Amino acid sequence: MSRINPTVRGFAIILAIAGLITGLSLEPTLTALFFLVRIVFFVAIAYFLYRLWRERREEISTWPARSQGVLYGAVLLAVVNFALGFGTDYPSGAAETLVFVLVLVACGFAIWRVWRDEHTYS
């Protein structure tokens, strides 16, 4: 077994797991587990963002109201976008996926731009 190429061995393991799931008709169980993993991933992202905000909230409170509004608005929009993406089958097609990604990119750019503007000293 150790003489087999690691890539081939990995694909063989994946095929064995897929065959086991298909053979034992475990698709509903796998769907439920995937849904639980999606929820846990969403909670982990929310917890990370909360910890990041908690460490920096005193600094953010000294920013102008416009910068605070843009930062919190972008974070809120990103969280709503993720909630829609994880809570439903959205994005389900190419157009929905493109919108999902573009909204996340726009939120990330807004957050980065506000952060850079508030940390640029001239």
For every residue of the chain, DSSP letters joined together read -TTS-HHHHHHHHHHHHHHHHHHTT-HHHHHHHHHHHHHHHHHHHHHHHHHHHHHHHHHHHTS-HHHHHHHHHHHHHHHHHHHHHHHSS-S-SHHHHHHHHHHHHHHHHHHHHHHHHHT---
pLDDT score for 43: 86
User: pLDDT tens digits for 5-30?
Assistant: 989 999 999 999 888 888 888 888 88
What would the pLDDT profile of 38-59 be if each residue is shown by its tens digit? Answer: 888 888 888 988 898 899 899 9
Share of the chain above pLDDT 70, in %: 93
Is the pLDDT confidence value at 91 over 70?
A: no
